[in-house]
Structure 1
Amino acid sequence: MVVIRLQRRGTKKTPHHRIVATDRSRSQGGRVLETLGHYDPSYNPPHFALDTSRVAHWVSEGAQISDAVEKLTKRFQHVPVASTKK
Structure 2
Amino acid sequence: MLIIRLQRVGRKNDPTFRVVLTDSKNGPKSGKYLEIMGSYDARKGKAQLVKDRIKYWMSVGAKTSGTMNNILVANKVVAGKKVNVLPKRKKVAEAAKDASKGEKKVEPAPKS
Structure 2 alignment gaps of length 5 or more: 81-112
Give a deviation string over 1:27-74, Cα, whole Å, max 9, x none.
21221000001001223xx32111111011111221101110111122
What TM-score does the superposition give when structure 1 sets the normalisation length? 0.81
Higher alpha-carbon Rg: 2
Q: Which has the higher contact order (CA 8 A, sep 6+)?
A: 1
Instruction: Please identify which structure carries the higher helix content.
Output: 2
User: What is the aligned residue count?
Assistant: 79
Give the equivalent residue in structure 1 for 2:4. 4
What TM-score does the superposition give when structure 2 sets the normalisation length? 0.64
Say whether the 8 Å CA contact 2:73–2:79 is kept in structure 1: no
Instruction: Please identify which structure carries the higher strand content.
Output: 1
Say whether the 8 Å CA contact 1:56–1:81 is kept in structure 2: no
Q: Which runs of 4+ in 1 moved over 4 A?
A: none
Say whether the 8 Å CA contact 2:6–2:17 is kept in structure 1: yes
Give the equivalent residue in structure 2 for 1:18. 18
Structure 1 alignment gaps of length 5 or more: none
**Cα RMSD over matched residues?**
1.6
Q: Tell me by how many angstroms 1:78 deviates.
A: 2.6
Give the equivalent residue in structure 1 for 2:60. 61
Q: Residues 1-86 of structure 1 correspond to what in structure 2 (within 5 A)? A: 1-30=1-30, 31-43=32-44, 46-75=45-74, 77-80=75-78
SS at match of 1:39: strand
Q: Tell me by how many angstroms 1:81 deviates.
A: 5.7
